[in-house]
């Protein structure tokens, strides 16, 4: 199986080689391709992929999306955009930048928000210095694949001391095309010292399209910088989504992630955060909801490299039907990282007898003066709560929906950006029976 997949992606690489207009990147691309050729796609024999079988993905001969696949009816964007959100916006269709839909008016001086693809032929010193520096091509096969196929995505550079109040919204939309496509969006986010920004990455599938999104985001948070990062995954129910976020943090920086995973047939989200500076802080909030035969896997790795670093992780999962969830939260406290404060919790709600979840905290602690805690739970809806609601005249189904919503909302209500929060609450409720009734409650 792996041989076929390797062969397929190598062929795809060479098919596209002629159109490559970024010679300076070619060496890195080839190196990544070589890693991919050697390592292949992950299998369930690897510890990190034990519960996630990507066989179906590996067997599909996805065609690499290109400029021809950049079509969408204009009116469809309205449904996808986040209502009431005043933001800068870049739109990609099947991974292809769509300049006509860009909204960047009033961008503060010095702040760069642009298509990475457009900046590649004449890269700035910043791009040359940072691109592909924080991504881990050695340990993440899909990241290596992304690097090999790197052609477009978003470049976000915030200079030192700059604050951009409006969020930057990246909409990655996939729709039905005449071929089964793969796109490899690549985002590079560089925050200068003491800068502050909010970034939203949305992945949205339309028309029940079948495709594969293989996305990578690299983030550098400079000294004292602060990033609020949302990843909203609402891919189509027939799609594959593999995404990894690689974050490197310097002294006193703060990185807050809200990863909300609602769509996709097979989904894997990786976040690696490296607390590489004294006093830096990482907050990872996550929610995954899956039903039918969806499979959703969240792996996080928090690396405490330096003293006085803090991490707090809070993930919740709701699994219904025959869905399968995986959560793996690894925390490594390195020898030097004294006074680390690391907390992690993962709670799962199983709504059906056929739903399943595997949750595993992994702590590796090499320092002696640290505070670490973790907890994982798997449970059903609370019978006492259900009875209480029913004794107050609420239908059983409505009561179940209401309690499910309350469980999920515990993550969503940590979102400070009101339009995003509204949109997600709407989406979450939309998945539940008796949606219109539940809406009255919130």
Partner 1 sequence: MLQIKNLHATVDGKEILKGIDLAVNTGEVHAIMGPNGSGKSTLANVLAGRDGYEITQGTILYNGQDLSKMAPEIRAREGIFLAFQYPVEIPGVNNIYLLKAALNAVRKHRGEPELDAVEFLALVRDRMKVVAMKDDLMSRSVNEGFSGGEKKRNEIFQMAVLEPALAILDETDSGLDIDALKIVAGGINQLRNRERAIVLVTHYQRLLGYIVPDFVHVLADGKIIKSGDRNLALQLEEKGYDWVKQETVAA
Report the interface residues with partner 1, using CB under 8 A.
382-385, 387-396, 398-399, 402-403, 405-407, 409-410, 437, 440-442
**Nearest approach, Cβ of residue 241 and partner 1 (Å):** 28
* Closer by beta carbon to partner 1, 160 or else 406: 406
The four Cα atoms 158, 159, 160, 164 give a dihedral, to 10 degrees, of -40
Give me 361's structure tokens. 């905290």
CA distance 327 to 319: 12
* Closer by beta carbon to partner 1, 129 or else 396: 396
* Closer by beta carbon to partner 1, 107 or else 437: 437
Helix axes 23-39, 141-148, angle to 10 degrees: 150
Give the HSE-up count for residue 344: Cα atoms under 13 Å, Cβ half-sphere.
19
Residue 339 contacts residue 306 (beta carbons within 8 Å): no
**Nearest approach, Cβ of residue 398 and partner 1 (Å):** 8
**Nearest approach, Cβ of residue 195 and partner 1 (Å):** 35
* Closer by beta carbon to partner 1, 141 or else 394: 394
* Closer by beta carbon to partner 1, 165 or else 383: 383
**Nearest approach, Cβ of residue 427 and partner 1 (Å):** 17
231 bridge partner residues: 201, 259
* Closer by beta carbon to partner 1, 218 or else 425: 425
CA distance 325 to 268: 10
Residue 310 contacts residue 342 (beta carbons within 8 Å): yes
CA distance 102 to 117: 14
Distance between alpha carbon 345 and the CA centroid of its chain, in Å?
Answer: 19
**Nearest approach, Cβ of residue 414 and partner 1 (Å):** 12
**Nearest approach, Cβ of residue 394 and partner 1 (Å):** 6
* Closer by beta carbon to partner 1, 97 or else 407: 407
* Closer by beta carbon to partner 1, 342 or else 415: 415
Q: Give every CB contact of residue 308 below 8 A, 6+ residues apart in sequence.
A: 278, 279, 338, 339, 340
**Nearest approach, Cβ of residue 249 and partner 1 (Å):** 32
CA distance 245 to 217: 5
**Nearest approach, Cβ of residue 104 and partner 1 (Å):** 38
* 3-state SS class at 314: strand
Residue 276 contacts residue 306 (beta carbons within 8 Å): yes
């Amino acid at each position: 199986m792996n041989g076929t997949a390797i062969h397929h992606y190598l062929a795809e690489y060479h098919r596209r080689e002629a159109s490559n207009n970024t010679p300076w990147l070619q060496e890195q691309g080839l190196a990544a391709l070589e890693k991919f050729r050697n390592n292949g796609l992950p299998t369930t024999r690897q510890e990190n992929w034990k519960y996630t079988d990507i066989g179906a993905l590996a067997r599909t001969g996805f065609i690499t999306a290109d400029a021809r696949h950049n079509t969408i009816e204009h009116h469809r964007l309205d449904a996808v955009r986040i209502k009431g959100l005043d933001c800068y916006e870049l739109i990609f269709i099947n991974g292809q930048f769509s300049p006509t839909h860009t909204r960047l008016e009033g961008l503060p001086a010095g702040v760069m928000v642009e298509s990475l693809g457009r900046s590649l032929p004449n890269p700035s010193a910043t791009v040359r210095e940072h691109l592909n520096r924080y991504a881990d091509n050695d340990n993440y096969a899909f990241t290596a694949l992304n690097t090999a196929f790197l052609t477009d995505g978003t470049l976000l550079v915030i200079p030192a001391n700059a604050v951009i109040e409006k969020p930057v919204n990246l909409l990655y939309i996939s729709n039905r095309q005449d071929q089964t496509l793969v796109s490899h969006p690549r985002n590079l986010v560089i925050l200068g010292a003491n800068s502050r920004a909010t970034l939203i990455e949305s992945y949205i599938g339309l028309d029940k399209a079948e495709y594969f999104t293989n996305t990578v985001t690299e983030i550098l948070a400079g000294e004292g910088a602060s990033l609020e990062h949302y990843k909203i995954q609402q891919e189509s129910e027939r799609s594959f989504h593999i995404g990894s976020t690689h974050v490197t943090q310097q002294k006193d920086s703060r990185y807050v992630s809200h990863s909300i995973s609602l769509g996709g047939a097979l989904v894997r989200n990786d976040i690696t955060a490296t607390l590489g500076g004294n006093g830096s802080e990482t907050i990872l909030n996550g929610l995954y909801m899956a039903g039918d035969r969806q499979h959703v896997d969240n792996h996080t790795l928090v690396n405490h490299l330096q003293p006085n670093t803090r991490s707090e992780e809070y993930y919740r999962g709701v699994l219904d039907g025959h869905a399968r969830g995986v959560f793996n939260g690894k925390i490594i406290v390195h020898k030097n990282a004294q006074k680390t404060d690391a907390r992690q919790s993962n709670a799962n709600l199983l709504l059906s007898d056929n739903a399943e979840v595997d949750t595993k905290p992994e702590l590796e602690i090499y320092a002696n003066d640290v505070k670490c805690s973790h907890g994982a739970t798997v449970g059903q809806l609370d019978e006492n709560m259900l009875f209480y609601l029913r004794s107050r005249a609420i239908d059983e189904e409505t009561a179940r929906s209401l309690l499910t919503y309350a469980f999920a909302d515990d993550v969503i209500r940590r979102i400070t950006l009101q339009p995003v929060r509204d949109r997600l609450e709407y989406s979450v409720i939309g998945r539940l029976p008796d949606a219109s009734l539940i809406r009255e409650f919130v």
